[in-house]
Chains A and B, each alone.
Chain A
Amino acid sequence: GAVVSQHPSWVICKSGTSVKIECRSLDFQATTMFWYRQFPKQSLMLMATSNEGSKATYEQGVEKDKFLINHASLTLSTLTVTSAHPEDSSFYICSARDRGTQRSYNEQFFGPGTRLTVL
Chain B
Amino acid sequence: KNEVEQSPQNLTAQEGEFITINCSYSVGISALHWLQQHPGGGIVSLFMLSSGKKKHGRLIATINIQEKHSSLHITASHPRDSAVYICAVRFSSGSARQLTFGSGTQLTVLP
Contacts and interface: CB of A to CB of B under 8 A. Distances in A.
Interface residues of A, number: 20
Interface centre among A1, A43, A44, A109 (most CB of B within 10 A): A43
Contact of A115 (B41, B102, B104): B41
- How many of chain B's residues touch chain A, expressed as a range? 20 to 34
Contact of A108 (B40, B41, B86, B99): B99
Question: Chain A's interface: helix, strand, loop or mixed, by majority?
Answer: strand
B42 interface: yes
B99 to A, nearest CB: 7
A110 to B, nearest CB: 4
A110 B37 CA distance: 10
Interface stretch (B11-19, B43-51, B60-68, B69-77): B43-51
A37 to B, nearest CB: 12
B54 to A, nearest CB: 12
Interface of A: 1, 32, 34, 38, 43-44, 46, 49, 91, 93, 104, 106-113, 115
Interface of B: 30-31, 33, 35, 40-45, 48, 86, 90, 97-99, 101-104
